[in-house]
Amino acid sequence: MLDEPSLGLSPVMVTAMFEAIAQINRAGTTVLLVEQNVLRALKLSHRGYVLEDGRVVAEGPSGDLLHNPQVRATYLGL
């Protein structure tokens, strides 16, 4: 379980952190990631849960969440 592993890191270190998390997962370890960097987290993960005020407002396969218009507008600024 990782809680905000990219918080306060430089962009170079954020990239390194996410690469390390991906490597850990590819090696067979399940990773529970809590992260405010929604785009990076969804690109890395298999499944996502979007929380707002402690409630799940969206959930499903990460690819679906990346293409969800509400998630894109509210959390990705797209």
At 33-75, the pLDDT tens digits run 999 999 999 999 999 999 999 999 999 999 999 999 999 999 8
Q: Which two tokens stand for residue 78?
A: 């797209």
- When pLDDT is cut at 50, 70 and 90, the band that residue 78 belongs to is confident
Q: Give dist(CA 15, CA 69) in Å, integer.
A: 26
Neighbours of 33 (CB within 10 A): 19
β-strand partners of 52: 55
In this prediction, residue 55 carries a pLDDT of 95
What does the pLDDT look like over 31-42, one tens digit per residue? Answer: 999 999 999 999
- Cα–Cα distance for residue pair 3/32, rounded to 1 Å: 8
Q: Tell me, what DSSP letter sits at residue 28? A: T
Would you state the structure tokens that stand for residue 72, as one six-digit string?
Answer: 């894109």
